[in-house]
Amino acid sequence: MEKNYGISVTGGRFSAGAAAAGDHARATNISTAGSLDDARTQMLVLLEALHAHAGELTRPDETIAVAELARRELEADEPDKPSILGWLKVVASGAGSIAAISGAVAAVQQAIAAVL
């Protein structure tokens, strides 16, 4: 039998945050993922952008109301990710091509993906 002092991957892909092999090897993975508070902060930035650009929205009251639904769900102890992401899609479609809002929606989506 052949000795193996490393990592051998065949027929697939190897993905790890940290990996080590060999005598006395150590691997440490330091996560830079955000927190739920980061996602909540990004949601507030989105709401500010919606209010700042309300005059440019086709249906500002409805778009802001849907964003508020997402914000309230995000404040829950165990937020429902599919609901929040669904509401964010509605907000994005209501924002059309307003870059500030599109960017804020993307930031919230990324923050949520990192923690939920």
Per-residue pLDDT of the chain (116 residues; tens, 9 = 90+): 566 666 666 776 666 656 766 666 666 654 555 789 999 999 999 999 999 999 999 999 999 999 999 999 999 999 999 999 999 999 999 998 899 999 999 999 999 998 88
pTM of the predicted structure, to 2 decimals: 0.71
- Alpha carbons 96 and 79: distance in angstroms, whole number: 26
Say if residues 105 and 39 touch (Cβ distance below 8 Å).
no
Say if residues 22 and 5 touch (Cβ distance below 8 Å).
yes
Cα dihedral 87, 88, 93, 99 in deg (nearest 10): 160
